[in-house]
Amino acid sequence: MRKLVHLVLISCVLVAVCQSQSGVPTQPRVIELTAGRDSRYREGGKVAPTIEVRAGEPLILRITAVRAETVARDGSVHGLALLDKNSGAVSGWRFFLHPGVQDLVVSAPDEPGRYTAVCTVICSDGHEGMGFTLIVTGPGKKE
């Protein structure tokens, strides 16, 4: 009987250890950004930040948007699209932002590399310079 209790205990410990080492994040990582009145993305105080993520990592982009000079017809004050190195749009990464805080649920691209997030609403004369960089690291080659 004691042996059986031991066996059950050891099994439980093994299962717990295996689960904790599987490396699969259970909660998406939250990345807080602002899309500002001056047509700039910021993380903390940093303008046009470079954000490093792992390939396929589940993410929540928590974006606080403030209107700039111009607003789109549908009321969007800024937009967000992710482009790969060939300026191709990454699927699942196209959003229109409204004033206030919004959570965008995304997955990091599966392909490691450097990606550029751009604003897709003509929000002011400074719109062209509005974006940030996403560096995807992963099981493939590191950049």
Smallest gap from Cβ 28 to Cu ion, in A, equals: 24
Instruction: Name the one residue in this structure whose structure tokens are 């950049």.
Output: 143
* Cα distance between residue 44 and residue 17, in whole Å: 35
Residue among 112 and 131 whose Cβ is closer to Cu ion: 131
Binding site for Cu ion (CB under 5 A): 39, 78, 119, 123, 130
CB of 137 to Cu ion, least distance (A): 27
What tokens does 8 get? 């059950």
Task: Name which of 78 and 82 has its Cβ closer to Cu ion.
Answer: 78
Q: Least Å distance between CB 66 and Cu ion?
A: 10
Tokens (6 digits) for 94: 């196209």
* Alpha helices per DSSP H over the chain: 2-21
Query: What H or E segment, with its residue span, contains residue 10?
Result: helix 2-21
Contact 127, 121 (CB under 8 A): yes
For Cu ion, which is the closer residue by CB, 51 or 118? 118
Residues sharing a CB contact under 8 Å with residue 100, sequence separation 6 or more, in sequence order = 64, 65
Q: Closest separation between CB of residue 76 and Cu ion, Å?
A: 9
The residue (of 78 and 115) whose beta carbon lies closer to Cu ion is 78
